[in-house]
Each structure stands twice: as structure tokens, then as C-alpha cells.
Amino acid sequence: MKHSTKVILISGFSLILVILAVFLFIKIRGNTANIFDRQKNEEIPSERLILGFSQIGSESAWRTRNTQSIIEAAEAKNIQLIFDDAQQKQENQLKAIRSFIVYQVDVIAFVPIVEDGWDNVLQEAKDAGIPVIIVDRQIKADPSLYAGFLGENGFEEGRSAAKFLVEKCAKDNRYRINIVEFSGTENSSVATGRAEGFRSVIKDDPRYNIIYSEDGDFLRSRGKEIMDKILVESKGQLMYKGHKIDAIYSHNDSMTLGLLDSLKQKQVPANDTIIISIDAEQKSIDALTQGKLNCVVECNPNLGPILMELVKQIASGKEIPKVTYMHESVFTENDDFSLYKPRGY
């Protein structure tokens, strides 16, 4: 009897093992089929597509509009959006992307807050067979790790800003131009691009000198802080270390609005200081038409519809362009302001 009990126990135990093995086989088979599904070239109808998107935060009106554009476009294309706001922290973006991988979304897209630190997570996405689209800002990583980039050309935006300055100074016959730069987030491709693009235009003309540059992190509060500090040190003059500030180049409208807040609060007149900004949110265009700014370079946040087209293409196994730039224009004091349309952000 003892023997038979033992056999039942074993056979009972082995029966459980067999059931477990069969169950596991079906489960794996099912999942495998799922992954193979992904590789078939069939067009996956968009109502079944899931896009994991990591946004950097809501540091500017530009960013808020950028987010809206993505949410609206996903809805319009019936793409399920898992959206994560990283509150300006790269580690939150890395966590979000890893959760998208575990969730096995169809496509991952994200705005890299800074250029570096993405190789490992991109390799993990690649190993999981999930294509990645880089959005808005660029990264320093092996290009084979992501499907493509859609966004802004910071270098060209910087060049446009400087070209306006050079044309205006030529007209006004200015012989020496001291420039103060309000820079965007350090190590972000957009701040690097806007800085390099601007400098590429003025580098061979000794009349142009960037006498000071500070990182304002694309924030209105930081733009005001930097200008407050300059005005305190120059006892209310638009001077820096004894040099007259002839021009201000700000990498985004939020910081520009902050420096204007400071000039207004301290009642410092700036009408003969050339101020150039980037983004073209409504408040900045309003400041241009009121004569407070001289030039606003557009940076187009409305990339949602193009992004969703790229998501659908890549999800059905098609290639997408390695780089897709958004169309952008330049607004200046010489425009016919009556032709301006509402900016929507």
C-alpha cells in the first residue's frame, strides 16, 4: 500500500507537472505567435496599435502645445496612447520606456531631454522587437538603435536668429555688437544646435561678441532670474561687466518672457536693445507686434499628425526616414503684422 501511495503521490505530482508544462507551452506558443504577428508585413489596423510616449514635461507653452498635438493626433488616428510625463527628469523617461517594453507596446516614441544616456534602453527596446522614434530633440546614440527622428532643426533656428541680427546691424551701421545669450537646457540637442547655429553665422565677423551666456533651462522663471542678476550687477543698466548689451539672443520664448518681466519690473527701457527669441508662442508674437522684440524664430510643436503617420508606417514593417524636420518660419519687426494668424499656443 505504502508503495502505491508513493506512486500516486509521484504520479499526482508528475500529473501537475505535465499540466503545467502543457499550459506553459500554450502560453509561450501564444506569445510567440504574438511577436511573429508583429514581424508580418500586414498593415496592423491602427485601432490595435499601442504607442508608448515619454514626454519631458511641461516647461513651456511650446511643450504644452506639443503634448496636445500628440494626444489629438493619436485620437484622430485611433492609436492607443500610453503617455508619460517625465517631470523634466531623464531617469523618469528611462523608467517609462522600460515599462513600455514590458507592456509590449507596438511603437515607442520619446522626446530625449538631453542627448546622452539612451543606448542601453534603446538596445533593450531593439531586443524586444519594438521600434523607437526620437521626437523633437535629437540624441547621441548608434543610429541603428532607433527607426528615425522627427522634430526641430535647432542649428537652422540658431542660424535664422543670427542672420536677422546681422541684417539689422548692417542696416543700422552698428560697428560693435555685444550679445548676451539665454541658453536652453544644457546638453539638450536643441540648446547645442541653437548655440552652434547662431555662432556659425557671426564667427568670422569680429564686431559680434557673445559677452555672456547662461543656461536658463527653457524656463520663464530662470529667464527673469538671469536678467534680474544682470540688472543688479549693472545698477539698472543693460550692461554686462562694463559692456553695453546691444543684443539678447534667447533660446526660447519662456525665457524671453521672463527677461521681459524683469525689464518691466525694474523699469529698464530696452528699445535700442535687439532681442531675438525662438518658439513663436502667442505671447512672444504679441511682444513682437508691441515692439518689445525684434525677431521670433518659429519652432513648430505641431508634430502629432506626422508622428502618427510614422508610427503606422513603422508598425506595419515599413522603413521611415532617418530624419524628418518640421517646417519652420521666421517672424520679424519688418512683417505686416495684420497677416499674422493666431498661434494656438
Query: Considering only CA atoms, which of 187, 188, 185, 169 is closest in space to residue 177?
Result: 169
- Interface with ligand GZL by CB under 6 A: which range of 43-51, 54-62, 118-126, 207-215? 54-62
Q: What is the DSSP letter of 47?
A: G
Could you tell me the smallest distance in angstroms from the CB atom of residue 152 to Zn ion? 3
- Does 215 help bind ligand GZL (rule: CB under 6 A)? no
Reduced DSSP (H G I as helix, E B as strand, rest coil) percent helix, strand, coil of the chain, to 5: 50, 20, 35
Could you tell me the smallest distance in angstroms from the CB atom of residue 64 to ligand GZL? 9
- Does 218 help bind ligand GZL (rule: CB under 6 A)? yes
Dihedral sign (CA 102, 104, 109, 115): positive
* Segment 139 to 158, residues that bind ligand GZL, using CB under 6 A: 152
Q: Dihedrals φ, ψ of 9, to 5°? A: -55, -50
Q: Exposure string (b/e) for 135-157, b if CB count within 10 Å is 16 or more?
A: bbbbbebeeebbbbbbbbbbbeb
- Does 190 help bind ligand GZL (rule: CB under 6 A)? yes
User: Given the complex with Zn ion, which of 94 and 278 has the nearer CB atom?
Assistant: 278
Q: How many positions of this chain bind Zn ion (CB under 5 A)?
A: 2
Q: How many positions of this chain bind ligand GZL (CB under 6 A)?
A: 14
Could you tell me which residues come within 8 angstroms of residue 143 by beta carbon, excluding any fewer than 6 positions away?
Answer: 322
- Residue 190: name its binding partner from ligand GZL, Zn ion, none (Cβ under 5 to 8 Å by kind): ligand GZL
| Helices and strands, counts by H and E, the chain | 10, 14
Q: How far is CA 82 from CA 96, 103, 130, 150, in A?
A: 10, 10, 15, 19
> Contact letters (x/-) for ligand GZL, 220-259, by CB under 6 A?
--------------------------------x-x-----
- Does 63 help bind ligand GZL (rule: CB under 6 A)? yes
Could you tell me the smallest distance in angstroms from the CB atom of residue 188 to Zn ion? 12
Element (H, E) at 67: helix 61-76
User: Given the complex with ligand GZL, which of 262 and 284 has the nearer CB atom?
Assistant: 284
135, 111 Cβ separation under 8 angstroms? yes
User: Given the complex with ligand GZL, which of 215 and 279 has the nearer CB atom?
Assistant: 279
Could you tell me which residues come within 8 angstroms of residue 4 by beta carbon, excluding any fewer than 6 positions away?
Answer: none
User: Given the complex with ligand GZL, which of 177 and 255 has the nearer CB atom?
Assistant: 255
- Does 314 help bind Zn ion (rule: CB under 5 A)? no
For residue 41, the one-letter residue type is N
298, 280 Cβ separation under 8 angstroms? yes
User: Given the complex with ligand GZL, which of 73 and 130 has the nearer CB atom?
Assistant: 73
* Segment 292 to 311, residues that bind Zn ion, using CB under 5 A: 299
> Contact letters (x/-) for ligand GZL, 260-299, by CB under 6 A?
------------------xx-------------------x
CA atoms of 308 and 345, how far apart (whole Å): 21
- Residue 182: name its binding partner from Zn ion, ligand GZL, none (Cβ under 5 to 8 Å by kind): none
203, 234 Cβ separation under 8 angstroms? no
Residue-by-residue DSSP string for 103-162: HT-SEEEE--SSSSS-HHHHHHHHHTT--EEEEES---S-GGGSSEEEE--HHHHHHHHH
> Contact letters (x/-) for Zn ion, 146-185, by CB under 5 A?
------x---------------------------------
- Does 65 help bind ligand GZL (rule: CB under 6 A)? no
- Residue 279: name its binding partner from ligand GZL, Zn ion, none (Cβ under 5 to 8 Å by kind): ligand GZL
The residue ranges that bind ligand GZL (CB under 6 A) are 59-60, 62-63, 136-137, 152, 190, 218, 252, 254, 278-279, 299
